[in-house]
Amino acid sequence: NAGVTQTPKFRVLKTGQSMTLLCAQDMNHEYMYWYRQDPGMGLRLIHYSVGEGTTAKGEVPDGYNVSRLKKQNFLLGLESAAPSQTSVYFCASTPGLAVGANVLTFGAGSRLTVL
Amino acid sequence: TQLLEQSPQFLSIQEGENLTVYCNSSSVFSSLQWYRQEPGEGPVLLVTVVTGGEVKKLKRLTFQFGDARKDSSLHITAAQPGDTGLYLCALEYSGGGADGLTFGKGTHLIIQP
């Protein structure tokens, strides 16, 4: 009954370091999303995936890369972290896009601080 | 470009009072969802509305979808400290693709005992 699991929950990086955030869902959902949440900015879409092996850019993709090698996992990578990437990152998934049925299940978030 | 506004941005009231939160779009949308987010957690769905004029109730929460399908409101009756959190509206626009929902910036609600 895990739903969407994000790891790690907290991470502190120095500028220029790289890291990967892992999102795993056990609901067999096709669609997965990475958002960042900043004060006063709401949730902004970084990248998303419509199925295994596919990825697409969202509203704020610069500085991030993603991969979806397995249906249940969606990885978010930062190749060279910058202080502007300090944020709380949320992964979400949904089974489909039928109107009114496009309901997102979110993970608990990963808080990243870049010094 | 669709514009989505939520108001108020912040609201602090006493336990037992009533309140209303608004979500307004510059464009007609297909459906709307309301989420609630507690500190340290991800947003959790409260309700989905898909029909213009629709009203849904969830205990002390009443959700309304405007007739013109460009606005929605969340009304809480006799607010409790447990209602404290960030309330987000999320819109699905006609013809919207797989990039999912458009989220408002949220209303931070604090209910003081």
Tens-digit pLDDT profile for residues A92-110: 999 876 766 678 999 999 9
**Maximum mean pLDDT: which of A41-45, B27-31, B57-61:** B57-61
Phi, psi for B49 (deg, rounded to 5)? -120, 135
From the list A48, A103, A107, the residue facing B33 with the nearest CB is A103
Cβ atoms of residues B58 and B48 within 8 Å: no
Residue A41 has pLDDT above 70, yes or no: yes
Is the bond into B43 cis (omega within 30 degrees of 0)? no
* Closest A-chain CA to B36: A106
Residue B94 has pLDDT above 70, yes or no: no
Structure tokens at A3: 């739903």
Structure confidence at residue A99 (pLDDT):
64
Structure confidence at residue B97 (pLDDT):
64
Residue A8 has pLDDT above 70, yes or no: yes
CB atoms within 10 A of CB A23: 25
Structure confidence at residue B96 (pLDDT):
58
Cβ atoms of residues A112 and A11 within 8 Å: yes
CA atoms within 13 A on the CB side of A21: 35
Cβ atoms of residues A46 and A106 within 8 Å: no
Nearest to B61 by CA among B101, B112, B109: B109
Cα A6 to Cα A109: distance, rounded to the nearest angstrom: 6
Cβ atoms of residues A114 and A11 within 8 Å: no
The Cα angle at residue A34 between residues A82 and A57, in degrees rounded to 5: 80
Is the bond into B8 cis (omega within 30 degrees of 0)? yes
Cα B63 to Cα B74: distance, rounded to the nearest angstrom: 5
Among residues 24-43 of chain A, which lie with CB inside 8 Å of chain B?
A: 31, 33, 40-43
Residue A32 has pLDDT above 70, yes or no: yes
**To which residue do tokens 């009203």 refer?**
B55
Confidence of residue B69 (pLDDT cuts 50, 70, 90): confident
Among residues 44-83 of chain A, which lie with CB inside 8 Å of chain B?
A: 45, 48, 50, 56, 58
Cβ atoms of residues A60 and A44 within 8 Å: yes
When the pLDDT of each residue in chain B is averaged and rounded to a whole number, the result is 91
Cβ atoms of residues A45 and B99 within 8 Å: yes
CB atoms within 10 A of CB B100: 21
Structure confidence at residue B1 (pLDDT):
59
Contact across the interface for B42 and A43, Cβ inside 8 Å: no
- Chain A positions in Cβ-Cβ contact with residue B42 (cut-off 8 Å): 4, 90, 92, 106-109
Strands A110-114, A10-13: pairing kind:
parallel
Cα B102 to Cα A68: distance, rounded to the nearest angstrom: 23
* Closest B-chain CA to A101: B48
- Whether chain A has a CB inside 8 Å of the CB on B90: the answer is yes
Distance from CA of B80 to the nearest CA of A (A): 24
Residue B64 has pLDDT above 80, yes or no: yes
- Whether chain A has a CB inside 8 Å of the CB on B48: the answer is yes
